[in-house]
Each structure stands twice: as C-alpha cells, then as structure tokens.
Amino acid sequence: MDTNLLWIVLLPFLGFLINGLLGRKLGHKTVSVIACLLPVLSFVVSYAAWSRLVDGANALHWNGFPWIWLEGTLEVPFALHFDGLAAVMCLVITGVGSVIHLYSIGYMKGDPGYHRYFSYLNLFTAFMLLLVLADNLLLMFIGWEGVGLCSYLLIGFWYEDDANCAAGKKAFIVNRIGDLAFLIGMFVCLQHFGSLDISMLTSAEEITRVSAETLTFPWGAASVVTTIAVLLFIGATGKSAQIPLFVWLPDAMAGPTPVSALIHAATMVTSGVYLCCRLMPLFEASPAAMGLIAAVGACTALLAAFIAFTQNDIKKVLAYSTISQLGYMFFAVGMGAFSAALFHLVTHAFFKALLFLGSGSVIHAMHHEQDMRKMGGLRNRLPFTHITFLIGTLAIAGVPPLAGFFSKDEILFAGFQQGFLNAVGSAQLFWLISFLTAGMTAFYMIRCVAMTFWGESHVEESLERNVHEPGGWIGFALFVLAIASALGGFLNVPEFLGGHASLGHFTGLHHSTSDLSVDQLRSLHVSEWQSMLLSVLIAGSGLMLGIHCYGKGRDLRTSFNDSSAGKALGRLSASKFYVDEIYDRIFVRPFETLSHLLFILIDRIIIDGILVNGLALLTRSTGNVFRRIQTGYIPGYLLTFGCGVLVLIFILLNFLREGGAQ
Amino acid sequence: MIPEFDSFNLPILSLIVLTPALVALVLCLVDRNNRALIRQLALMGSFLTLLFSLLMVANFDSNLGTMQLEEQHSWIESLGISYHLGVDGISILLVLLTCFTMPFVFLSTWAAIGDRVKEFHIALLLLQTGMVGAFVSLDLILFYLYYEAMLIPMYLIIGIWGGKERIYAALKFFIFTMVGSLLMFLGILYLYNHAGTFDLPVLMERLRTTHPLGSDQQLWLFLAFTLSFAIKVPLFPLHTWLPDAHVQAPTAGSVVLAGVLLKMGTYGLLRFAIPLFPEAAFDLQSMMAWLAIIGIVFGACMALVQNDIKKLIAYSSVSHLGFVVLACFIPNLEALTGAILQMVNHGLSTGMLFLMIGIIYERRHTRELADYGGICKVVPIFTIFFLLAVLSSIGLPGLNGFVGEFLLLYGVFSSVPLWGCLATTGVLLGALYMLNMVKKFLFGPLVHEENHHIEDLNTRELIYLIPFVVMMVWLGLYPAPFIKMVQPTLTLYVEMLQN
C-alpha cells in the first residue's frame, strides 16, 4: 500500500484544476509557475519511487477503492501499480513532460488561451500517468481515452480555424475506432480470464489455461489469446498511428508545436507500444498476433518514411517520421524484442521531442511559417537551434554513439536474429524492410535539415531581419533534450559492447542470455557485431545520399522527374498514397449520404408520411364516411344505444363471473 | 453515519409522491400575478421532495433485494385495488433521479417561462407526482393511473408553452402514447380476469404457481404491455413522436421528457412486461434485441444529419435508449445493472444538454446549428459545461456514461457476442455526431454578428448545472454505492428469470 503513487497522478491533475478554474484570474506568471511546478513535483515523486525500486524494493502498489464493482461478479478497483516498466514510463512522461511545459512558457507567451493551454497540458500529463500506472486494463482505459480527449482539445486549441477543429475531431474519431476493438478485447478478457487485472492477464498459469480455449468465427477458429492480442493491438494502432489508422497523426500537427512534441511524439502515441510491453506474456503466447504486429509495424515504418521523402511542411516530415519510428517499435514487439521496443520508445521520446521543439523554435522565429521551401540558410540566424536539431537528426538516423543508434540497432538485430539465426522466412522480409527504412530515415531527416538550415535563404526579406534565436526557456529545453538525445543510448548498452542492458533488466522485458553456452554466446555476439556494422553502413549511406542530393540545394523531385517511374513514385509520396481520399470515398461520404437517405426515406416518408399521418388521414376519411350514420333520426340512435347496452351487460356479467370464480 | 429515521415510521414514499401534488394544490390558491411566490413555492416543494427521497435512501437497506418501505392500504376493496407502494433496487435510482432533476428544472424556468406561470408550475408539479407515483406503485391500477396522469400535464406543457408547431407535436405525442396505454389497460384487465388481483407481487406469485398463463396468452399480453412501453422509450420504429415533441416542448418539458419520462418505458419493461411474461419475453428476445440494435445505429445516423440541436439530441436519445432496451432483454447481472445505471446516466447527461440548449435558446432564440459557430470565444464557461455534458453522453471513461455503458455492453457481449459487438459501434457513432455538433456549435470562426454579445452563464444557471456535473463525476469515479443499491434486487431478478 503506497499512497505516494496517487500523488504522481494527482499533482498534475491539481494543476489542471487550479489553472482550469482560476487561470483566468491568475496572471500569466502564476499560471506558468503552477503548471510547470506540479509536473516537476510529480517527477520528483516518481524519482523517489523509482529509487526505491532500484534499492531492491518489490513493485509498489496502491490498493485504491472499488470502482466498477459488482460484488462477486465483476470487480474492478481503482488501483495503481508501480513496477520497473511503469517507473521508466513515469520518468519519461514527467521528465520530458516538464521540459516541454517549461518550453511552452516561451512558446505560448502572449496567447489569449494561455491558462487554458496549460490546464489541458497538465490534464494530459495526469491522464498519461494514470494510463501507465493503472493496475487493470479498464482503469488504463480511463487514461487511454483521457489522453485522447486532451489530444482532441489541444489539436483544436486554436479553435477559430475550422481546419484545426476538424483535425481534432478526426483524431478523436479515428482513435475511437481503435478503442472499440480495445473495448471488445476487454470483454473477451473478462469472459475468459474473468478479470482485467494486469497481473492476471500476464500470469503464466492463466495464459496456459486460456490458450487451450478457442473461439469460432464465421471465417474460422482462432485461439482466445490470439483474439485478445489482435483486438488490443487494433486498439494500439489507433493510439499509436499504425496502418490502417495512422491518418489522424499528420493532421494532428495543427496543434501548438510543444503539443506535437509531448503528445504526438514523445508520450501519447507510444501508449500502444506500452500496452504491448505491459502485456508481454499475453502477446508472446500468440505467434500469429506477433507476426501480424511485426508485419504492420514494418510496413508502417516503410510507408511513412516514403511519404516523409516529399513533405515540405517541417512538422509533417516529423509527423511521418514519428509514424515510421512507431512502426519500428511495433516491429520490435513483433520480433519479441520488447526490451528493444521500450528502449526505442525512450530514446525516441528524447530525440523526437528535441526535433519537434527545434522545429517549434524555427516556426516561432519565422512567425508561424512551416513550409521548408520558404526557409533555408537559417543556421546563421539560429545557430543553437541548428546544432541541437542536427544532434536530433543524427540521433534518429542512428549515428553512433547517439541515442538512436543503440536502440535502433537493437531492433534491427532482433529482426536479424529472428530472420537469419532462427530462419523465420517472413522475418527476413520484415528485417529487410526495416533495414531499408533506416537508410530512408537518415535521408529524409538530412533533407529536412538541409532545406531548413543549410544552403541559400528563401526567407522573405521582411521576415529575415527579425529571425533570431528564441532563447530563455526554449533554449533551455533544447539544451536538456539535446544532451538526453546524445547520451540516452547509454541507458541500455548491450552486453556485447560491455554494457548490462540495464533498462531491459530493470523493466523485466529483457530475455536472459544466461542459459546460453559460451560458444553460443560468442557466435551471437559475432552476429550482433555484423548487424551493427550493417546498420551503421545504411545510416551512413542514407546521410551521404541526402547530403549529396540536398547539400547543393537541389530538390529531389527534380531528379525524380527524370524518369516516369520516378515521377509516379514522387507523386504517390507527395499525395500520401491518397489514403485520406480513399477513406473519404469508401467510409465517410457513403455513410453520410446513407444517413441522409435513411432520414428522408424511413423517418419522413415511411414512418411519418405513410404510417403516422396516413393513419390520421385514414381516420379522418373513415370519420367522413361514418358521419353519415349520424342522421339525427332519434329512433335509430335509440336502437344502436340499446344494442350497445346489451353487449356491455353481457361482457360485464361474464367478466364478474370469471373474476368471482377465482 | 446517516441517522435512522425509521423510528418515526413516516410513510416516506407517500410523502415523495404526494408532496408535489399538495404544493400544486397550494399554488391554486396563490394569486396568479405573484410569480415570485409561485416560483419559490414550487422550488421549495421540489427541494422538500428531494429531501424526502434522500430520507428514502437513508432507510433503504442495500443488502436486501426485496421490496422495501412498503405501504399498503385498501382502496377499492370490491375490485381488489389497493394503494400499494414500495421501492427496490430497480426503482430507487429512478425515484432519486426524478427528485434530483425536478428542483433544477424549476430553477431553469425562471427566465424561460413568463406566460401563465401558475398553470405551468402546477402542471410540472403534477407531472412529478405522476412520475414518482408510477415508479413506486405496486398495484397495476394505481400504476396505470399515475402512468396516464403523467400524460396530461406533459400534453399541456407541449401544447401551451411549446414552439410554433406545438399542437401537431402535442397531439402526436398524446395519440402515440395513448394507443399504447389503452392496449396495456386491456392487458391489465385481462390479467385481473385471469388471476383475480391487481397487486403486482401477488399477481407474479399467482402467475408462477396457481394461475400460469398459456404461451399464446403470454405472447399477446406481453405484446400489449411492450407496445405501450416501447412507444414511451421510444423504440425504433415507434420513435417519430419524440423529435417533434422535443423540438416543440419548452426546455423544462424536454428535460423532464428526456430525463425521466422516457425511462418509464424501460422501467415498465423491467418491472412488468418481462417478469410477468418471461417466456414470451424469451421467445421474442431476439426480435426485441434486433429492434434495439437497429435503434442504436439508426438513431445515431439520424442524429448525424440533423441541423436542429434539439432534434439531434432527441435522436441521440433514441440511440442511447436502444442500449437500455437491448440490455433489458439480456438476463444477466451485468447487462441489467448497466441498463439501470444507463437510465440514470442518460437522465443526467441528456437532461443537462437540454437545459443548456434552453439557456442558449433564451439568449439567441434559435436552435439551428448554422446560426452558431465559434461561440466558445464569447461564452467560455458555457463551453466547459456543455463539453462536460457531451463527454458524459459519449461515455468518456471517468464520467458516469462509461460505467453503465461498459457493464451493459459487457453483459450483452457475454450473452450474445454478435449483439455486443454491433451495439458497441453505437459508442463510435455517438462520438461522431456529438463532436460534429460541438464543432459546428461551439468552435470554428465566429461569423454571425448576433453571436458577438451572448451573455455567459449566470449564477442561477451555474447553481442548477453544477449539481449535474458533480453527479457525473461521482457516478463516473465512485459508482460503487449506487451499484450496491441495485445489485441484490437484480441478483434475485436474474435468478427468477432463469428459473
């Protein structure tokens, strides 16, 4: 029983309440102090809890109170659980989160919705922490939908623009599609595990018991575990922007840039990966689901990287890059390398937050210009931003020894191991895809740097004079995250490089190699070296190619245009594979048309027109017919009256007799 | 601890039922021009009733699943009609919901109703007596009287204080409901004829033991009762009176209609139609379930294409109550608990939505979505409250809607997975039409000149909206005590149905 856990969630929530209720009356300064101090305090509490785990304490637990509680049938408590995995997530959320809160002080200065912004951001932090600390899936679902709500509110933060609101709505709805699968997944869990407690869903005996059971669908039978894993994974594709539900994330860039950094890069979008790691034993028990996850992850990584090639909006490049990197994480999950997935989640939080905040610094300096074609040469004006952005770029590209190098290498090796050492055919293909994507990542990121910071300036002259380094909290945040992106990889140095894979061991996701013999271990290490060499090579060539293409200010599309195939590919990339348009044609518009049709056809014409008002018409016209009976001829009335009385008396007598008999 | 008032032996249920009617009587004596006094008296009366209903909760034993606080006095002895009241887990939350809603409804009318204030308040008070009376009556004739008694004040509220098309809407409402209740009345007479009693507990006992009904009889009686309740709910395809009634009714009428009156239908199913004729209910289970599922999806589709905010929410009620009807026909604890919670939740969220639309209507005199847009800039506090009501309505976890929805859907899913999955899509569609509405209503550019100076919520409005929010959060985060009140009754209920 550890009530401190509650404070981790409660502190940012308090910030939300204070700023939400009183923010209008407090000055900007007070609002910022409250909004930033409370996540920092939450970080401190998380740190204290973490250090207790490091000292060897068991997982901490807060029993909470009964929530959805049908005694003896369905008992879901409001309880929190803090283990290694939750600890790492809490530290990332509150750590990176606090830095982004501080950055926002500079970025949002003077915005009329200042207090509203910070209260949403605090609320988001609280929900995100609830998501990772929840000890059962249903409680996690509060956080899961709660972060979605905050994302909705923050994407549409500048509500006066219709496009922003539409983007926010799209994010919520697309996420809800995934959430339906999540809900149904929970139903299946309840039915077969009889509980939603994570400890139950991950216990080996329970999983063995349940794996024996199968479900029959119209299209064939599937094991219960696979069904649950696939349903929960569909939920994850919504939140973590994977095929087929990734379409909301690029639009989500309509929100303020720090929001993109915190919610749409570092934390919220990784919750799908967190869910998989949280339920590792469950997912591992279903090879079919793992195969699906790997395939979706690898394909998403490739597709998004390919789209990122031709984007000209600096935030869109980063958005597709995020989708691509999330694909990497799922690929790792599918390969069974949960520890690598979590590791990449952490390093990605560092360097992608850094990249987004760097782009925010550029956008801020450029007075909300996001088109890279109107930038260029900014490194003279924004030297600090340039350096930090470059660090982020090299980190994501996988240049040693920056953070992304270690984590991406671990993922690629996991694919390599599955595909070639364990000789799984499909894994070879997925490995190849991810391997190529690594090169593509390096390429489009260096393109982004080149178009923004290098070469000739395309900035309008009137603007250019005012472009200057933002400094203050913005600079501070960039500095902190640049250091984290540079050194973050050392959290989990693999054993063959003399490290201890500390992160993997701490979170309990690492698969132990201690049962291998010395020879096996040596040959494993040899292939780890080979894989690493390959990934450095591909990252290097991606970078070189990028510098070659864009270093001299050339646009790739001009070189693509030389061949018709290249032209078609270029157009496909620039138009984002028409996914939005396809969804619009297949789902959105037919549904709206159908609703209109049904409204007119069923409600207006059939029910109201024919049945209701038709019946009224019928009554009126029969009335007209029977009106003729009312002749005014008294003996006729009397006769009818008499007959009626006789019938009534008969009925009444009958009624009373039967009633009396009982 | 709550003190035990039981020693006083107060007829608590009678007090809850009759206080509003008594206040209505007193109002008859008040000068019609003294509006302030009329309003205050009615408000005090409804608060007094709320107090009595809290007393009822204090005296209600959550561990028992039987009828409690029963009162029985013989009334028309020759026909065996008695004044028999009682409350159990099925009805207690609905009584509480009614008594909770009414004071705030009265508060909301202070600015909206300036015409024939006295008659309006009398009608509302009589309506309250009718509603609570129907929820606690255990005698079929008594129930029927209250059930019909609700109809008249509601008819007058729509017909007199309604909008332009009020006569059509009121008539449609009246005829639709009347047709159903007549059939039910015939059913009640038939039952009396068959088993010789109007008393519900006695009747249930006799039907089970000494006077079993044949399957044909069950079927027809079930249909007679169910038709009446299905119209009240309203179940697809009997729903078309609802959008018209809502659009034309004044705010207070809409709130009572959506908040409480519609639950009379689902309550009737749970209390009468299903337990009296369980075999017929079982035989027709899949038909009713499919109608409910069609209602869920169809109501949502209709809500999506409405341009009138009130109509949109009226259709959303069709969708939401589809969930409840579906669950009523699933005999397991989760589904039924979810159904009862969902009745309360729908009362809170939709009631609050209608109150808020009333507020904005008083200021702008239009309900067309196209006349709004971007007003969140002008009315930020209104926006927060409206968003909360919307989020509660679309079942955001952490607020009340989710708790009921989850239990309900899981209950349905565990019994018939296909129905559960289909119904779950309603959750997605709900978010779709609600957020569409929010976008057009509150967000976007502020284009209309008239909207630049809308007044934000005033203190009186805050006073009646905050209790709704408190209940939403309470039921969302700590619903355990409410579930506990319901559970023992439903456990017995499920056992009875399964035998």
DSSP A310: T
Nearest to B193 among A160, A162, A658 (CB): A658
The string of pLDDT tens digits covering residues B377-430 is 899 999 999 999 999 999 999 999 999 999 999 999 999 999 999 999 999 999
| Beta carbons within 10 angstroms of residue A283's beta carbon | 27
Work out the number of other CB atoms within 10 angstroms of the CB of residue B415. 18
CB-based contact B421:A186 (threshold 8 Å): no
Tell me whether A581 touches chain B (CB under 8 Å).
no
Range A12-40 average pLDDT: 91
Q: B267 to chain A, minimum CA–CA distance in Å?
A: 21
The CA distance from B319 to A237, in Å, is 28
Comparing A350 with A588, which gets the higher pLDDT?
A350
CB neighbours of A381 closer than 8 A, spacing ≥ 6? A365, A464, A467, A468, A469
**Chain center to CA of B288:** 20
Tell me if A464 sits within 8 A of A381, measured CB to CB: yes
Which residues of chain B does A602 touch, with a Cβ-Cβ cutoff of 8 Å?
237, 298
**For residue A248, is pLDDT > 70?**
yes
B68-76 and A60-70 as β-strands: parallel, antiparallel, unpaired? unpaired
Cα separation, A309 vs B357, in Å, equals: 48
Q: What is the gyration radius of the CA atoms in chain A, in angstroms?
A: 31
Q: How confident is the model at residue B6 (pLDDT cuts 50, 70, 90)?
A: low
Contact A599, B227 (CB under 8 A): no
d(CA A638, CA A642): 6
List CB contacts (< 8 A) between B478 and chain A.
65, 67
> d(Cα A225, Cα A230) in Å, to the nearest integer?
9
Q: Is residue A582 in a domain?
A: yes
**Within-domain flag for A542:** no
Pairwise CB contact (< 8 Å): A159 & B305: no
**Closest CB to B305 among A145, A177, A596:** A596
Q: How many CB atoms lie within 10 A of CB B475?
A: 24
Determine the Cα–Cα distance for residues B35 and A334; give it in Å rounded to an integer.
Answer: 71
What the block records as the tokens of A535 is 């990934």
Chain A residues closer than 8 Å to B446 by CB: 160
d(CA A215, CA A226): 10
Would you state the pLDDT for residue A241?
A: 93
B301 and A138 in contact by Cβ < 8 A?
Answer: no
Closest chain B C-alpha to A148 CA, distance in angstroms: 10
Sign of CA dihedral A430, A434, A436, A440: positive
Under 8 Å between Cβ of A128 and A270: no
- List of residues 6+ apart from B186 with CB closer than 8 A: B224
Cα(B28)–Cα(B464) distance, integer angstroms? 26
Q: In the structure encoding, which two tokens stand for residue A252, read together? A: 């989500």
A112 preceded by cis ω (within 30°)?
no
Alpha-carbon span B405 to B338, nearest angstrom: 6
Question: Do B140 and B200 contact (CB within 8 A), yes or no?
Answer: yes
Identify which of A33, A20, A15, A17 has the alpha carbon closest to the alpha carbon of residue A113: A20
Segment 237-256 of chain A within 8 Å of chain B by CB? none
pLDDT classification of A372: cutoffs 50, 70, 90: confident
Contact A264, A319 (CB under 8 A): yes
A183/B374 Cβ within 8 A? no
Q: DSSP string spanning B24-89? A: HHHHHHS-TT-HHHHHHHHHHHHHHHHHHHHHHHHT--TT--S-EEEEEEEEEGGGTEEEEEEE-H
C-alpha span between A13 and B60 (Å, rounded) = 36
CA distance A153 to chain B (A): 10
Range of the domain at A638: 631-662
Under 8 Å between Cβ of B177 and B183: no
Shortest CA distance to A280 belongs to which of A84, A113, A469? A84
Q: Would you give the end-to-end CA distance of chain A in angstroms?
A: 64
CA–CA dist A164, A256 (Å, integer): 10
Name the A residues in 509-528 with CB < 8 Å from any B CB: none
- Does one domain contain both A651 and A615? no
Q: Which of residues 45-64 of A touch B (CB under 8 A)?
A: none
In this structure, the number of other CB atoms found within 10 A of the CB of residue A577 comes to 13
- List CB contacts (< 8 A) between B212 and chain A: none
pLDDT band at A153 (very low <50, low <70, confident <90, very high): very high
CB-CB: which of B376, B396, B432 is closest to A173? B432
Interface contact flag, B376 A159, Cβ < 8 Å: yes
Say what the pLDDT of residue A563 is: 61
The pLDDT, as a whole number, for residue A576 is 82
pLDDT score of B2 more than 50: no
Number of domains within chain A: 2
- pLDDT mean across residues, chain A: 88
Contact status, residue B41 vs residue B26, Cβ threshold 8 Å:
yes
Cβ atoms B316, B434 nearer than 8 A = yes
Do the chains contact at A602 and B432, CB–CB below 8 Å? Answer: no
Write the residue in B195, B211, B334 that is nearest to A73 by C-beta: B334
Query: Which tokens is A526 given?
Result: 């040899």
- Measured CA to CA, the distance from residue A601 to residue A597 in angstroms comes to 6
Please indicate if any CB of chain B lies within 8 Å of the CB of A217: no
Tokens representing residue A6 in the block? 């509650």
What pLDDT, on the 0 to 100 scale, is given for residue B21? Answer: 93
- For helices B200-208 and B140-149, give the axis angle rounded to 10 degrees: 130
Q: How far is A142 from chain B (nearest CA, A)?
A: 5
Please tell me which residue of chain A has the smallest CA distance to B168.
A613
CB B419 within 8 A of CB B338: no
pLDDT of A555: 57
> Both A610 and A635 in a single domain?
no
Q: Which of B126, B59, B25, B380 is nearest to A116 (CA)?
A: B380
Q: With respect to residue A585, please indicate whether it lies within any of the assigned structural domains.
A: yes
* B114's tokens: 């300036």
What is the rounded average pLDDT of the residues B476-499?
92
Asked if residue A405 lies in contact with residue A398, where contact means CB atoms within 8 angstroms, the answer is yes
Instruction: For chain B, give every domain's residue range.
Output: 285-499
Cβ atoms within 10 A of the Cβ of B398, count?
22
Question: How confident is the model at residue A660, as a pLDDT?
Answer: 52
Q: Say if residue A615 is in the same domain as residue A590.
A: yes
Residue A266 has pLDDT above 80, yes or no: yes
Q: What is the pLDDT of residues B87-145, one digit of tens each?
A: 999 999 999 999 999 999 999 988 777 788 888 999 999 999 999 999 999 999 999 99
Verify whether the Cβ–Cβ distance A190 to B391 is below 8 Å: no
Cα dihedral B259→B264→B265→B271 (10° resolution): 140
- Residue A418 CA to residue A398 CA, distance in Å, equals 21
Measured distance CA(B261)–CA(A534) in Å, rounded:
71
Backbone angles phi, psi at A136, to 5 degrees: -140, 160
Q: Please tell me the distance from the alpha carbon of residue B158 to that of residue B156, in angstroms, as a whole number.
A: 5
Alpha-carbon gap: B424 to the closest alpha carbon of chain A (Å): 7
pLDDT at B499: 76
A173 contacts in chain B (CB < 8 Å): 428, 431-432, 435
**CA of A66 vs chain B CAs: smallest distance (Å):** 6
- Among A486-500, A541-555, B252-266, the least confident range: A541-555
Give the gap in angstroms from C-alpha B22 to the nearest C-alpha of chain A: 36
Supply the pLDDT for residue B1: 38
Q: State both tokens at A57.
A: 């304490």
- CA-CA distance, B43 to B104, in Å (whole number)? 8
A584 touches chain B (CB under 8 A): no
What is the distance between the terminal CA atoms of chain B, rounded to a whole angstrom?
Answer: 39
Q: What pairing do the DSSP bridges indicate for beta strands A74-82 and A214-217?
A: unpaired
Q: At what angle do helices B166-195 and B200-208 cross, to 10 degrees?
A: 50
Give A72's contacts (C-beta < 8 A, 6+ positions apart).
none
Q: Extract the tokens encoding A189.
A: 């869990």
pLDDT range class, residue B374, cuts 50, 70, 90: confident
Shortest CA gap B62–chain A (Å): 12
- pLDDT confidence of residue A99: 95
Q: With 90 as the cut, is the pLDDT of residue A454 above it?
A: no
Q: How many CB pairs under 8 A join A and B?
A: 142
Distance CA A416, CA A410 (A): 10
Would you say residue B265 has pLDDT above 90?
yes
CB B172 to CB A612 under 8 A?
Answer: yes
The answer to whether the bond into A244 is cis (omega within 30° of 0) is yes
Of B305, B443, B477, the CB nearest to A595: B305
Cα separation of B247 and B164, whole Å? Answer: 10
Q: Tell me, what's the ipTM?
A: 0.93
Structure tokens at A618: 């019928």
- pLDDT tens digits along A492-523: 888 777 777 788 888 888 776 667 778 877 88
Where are the alpha helices (H) located in B150-261, listed in sequence order?
Answer: 151-161, 166-195, 200-208, 215-232, 241-248, 251-256
Query: Using a CB-CB distance cutoff of 8 angstroms, which residues of chain A are in contact with residue B305?
Result: 592, 595-596, 599
Highest mean pLDDT among A345-349, A608-612, B234-238: A345-349
Taking the C-alpha atoms of residue A172 and residue A177, their distance in angstroms, rounded to an integer, is 9
Is residue A133, in this structure, part of any structural domain at all?
no
Q: Do A180 and B409 touch (CB under 8 A)?
A: no
CA distance B146 to B1: 35
Closest CA to B38 of B57, B23, B18, B60: B23
CB contact under 8 A, A165 and B424: no
Q: Test B301 with A156 for CB contact under 8 angstroms.
A: no
Chain A residue with Cα closest to B244:
A608
If one compares A269 and A564, the residue with the highest pLDDT of the two is A269
- Residue A11 in tokens: 């502190």
- Under DSSP, the state recorded for B395 is T
Interface check for A17 against chain B (CB to CB < 8 A): the answer is: no
Q: Write the residue in A144, A145, A180 that is nearest to B428 by C-beta.
A: A180
